[in-house]
Amino acid sequence: MNYQILKTEIQDKVAIVTISRPDAMNALNSQFFKELNAFLDEMEKDDNVKVIILTGDGKALVAGADIAEMVNMNSQQGEEFAKTGQKAFNRIEALNKPVIAAVNGFALGGGCELAMATDFRVASNYAKFGQPEVNLGLIPGYAGTQRLARLVGLSNALYLLYTADMITADEALRMGLVQKVVDAEQLIPETIAIAKKIADKGPEAIKKVKSVTRKGLMLDFGPGCELEAKEFGSLFGNEGTEGMKAFLEKRKPEWGK
């Protein structure tokens, strides 16, 4: 697909996708969701890409959904626009490879929701996070009410949702919304280094870590453990066996062998 909003680059086994609509602070619109779905289609089929980094151009990852597109929507259209975003962000969660958000600046509203759909977040020291929808008489529509509470706890989530306050990267780190804060000029190099570290691990094991952990979060503890044991066993006789042999033989594993 010929992207208008997304810029893509591949370094070794890492794909970097940059949201580039700087004149609108990368606001999310229908075209963005169309391009994101097309990009995810590509990534599902590309076995050479092991990890994806999602970032933004200019001063924002995403400063929110496109209010100019939403303002004249009726109730049904608003609901459908929310479902469009939810489906796209759910695909990030379900993708068979890790997705990391490199949050360069503002991640507000739909931008915060997009970041929360990734597997974890590395933030610039300039990054700001928030869910300001109540300022507009709205609520988050891309699963922000659901993911935020799961990531930072109910009371922290309700505080941010009620007040619409913006928080700094350091405050987001304290809450557990981001996992690492770095100087702005080191954001992409540091995130690439993390991504390459992950890309060197057993690819099937990484896929299963993502799926088992995410599915297990929605299960009771017992069924979650059963799922873990099943997938643990599935790696014997292939990738897991190669990894264990390489450890014993003091050599690098040859994944796929």
pLDDT tens-place string over residues 167-178: 999 999 999 999
Provide the token pair at 95: 């993708």
CA distance 148 to 135: 18
Find out whether 64 and 32 touch, Cβ atoms under 8 Å: no
253 is a domain residue: no
Helix (H) or strand (E) holding 6: strand 6-11
pLDDT tens-place string over residues 5-60: 999 999 999 999 999 999 999 999 999 999 999 999 999 999 999 999 999 999 99
Amino acid letter, residue 187: L
pLDDT tens-place string over residues 110-134: 999 999 999 999 999 999 999 999 9
Q: Are residues 93 and 212 in the same domain?
A: no
Alpha helices in the chain (DSSP H): 30-45, 67-70, 75-94, 110-117, 144-152, 154-163, 169-175, 187-199, 203-217, 221-234, 239-248
141 is a domain residue: yes
CA distance 68 to 15: 31
Pick from 121, 5, 4, 3: nearest CA to 54 = 121
* CATH code, domain with 88: 3.90.226.10
At residue 256, the pLDDT reads: 79
Q: What is the pTM of this model?
A: 0.96
pLDDT tens-place string over residues 62-74: 999 999 999 999 9
Alpha-carbon distances of 7 from 50, 88, 118, rounded to whole Å? 18, 18, 18
Of how many residues is the chain composed? 257
Provide the token pair at 253: 């594993």
62: which strand partners? 107
pLDDT band of residue 257 (cuts 50, 70, 90) is low
**Annotated catalytic residue, options 9, 93, 113, 231:** 113
Range(s) of the domain holding residue 17:
6-199
Q: Are residues 194 and 207 in the same domain?
A: no
133 in catalytic set: yes
Q: What percent of the chain has pLDDT over 90?
A: 98
**Annotated catalytic residue, options 42, 80, 133, 228:** 133
pLDDT band of residue 107 (cuts 50, 70, 90) is very high
CA distance 93 to 132: 23
Q: Are residues 120 and 59 in the same domain?
A: yes
pLDDT band of residue 1 (cuts 50, 70, 90) is confident
Q: Are residues 101 and 173 in the same domain?
A: yes
Find out whether 64 and 114 touch, Cβ atoms under 8 Å: no
Q: Are residues 182 and 208 in the same domain?
A: no
Number of domains making up the chain: 2
pLDDT tens-place string over residues 187-227: 999 999 999 999 999 999 999 999 999 999 999 999 999 99
CA distance 54 to 32: 13
Q: State the maximum Cα–Cα separation within the chain, in Å, rounded to a whole number.
A: 65
Q: Are residues 53 and 37 in the same domain?
A: yes
1 is a domain residue: no
Q: Are residues 25 and 119 in the same domain?
A: yes
pLDDT of 109 > 70? The answer is yes
Count of CB atoms situated within 10 Å of the CB of 225 = 12
256 is a domain residue: no
pLDDT tens-place string over residues 49-105: 999 999 999 999 999 999 999 999 999 999 999 999 999 999 999 999 999 999 999
185-190 contacts, C-beta under 8 A, 24 or more apart: 187/55, 187/102, 187/103, 187/104, 187/122, 187/123, 187/124, 188/16, 188/53, 188/55, 188/102, 190/122
Q: Are residues 78 and 163 in the same domain?
A: yes
Q: Are residues 155 and 78 in the same domain?
A: yes
Q: Are residues 244 and 148 in the same domain?
A: no
Q: Are residues 166 and 215 in the same domain?
A: no
Region class of 33: left (phi > 0), else alpha (psi between -120 and 50), else beta: alpha
pLDDT of 234 > 90? The answer is yes
Helix (H) or strand (E) holding 63: none
Q: Are residues 70 and 137 in the same domain?
A: yes
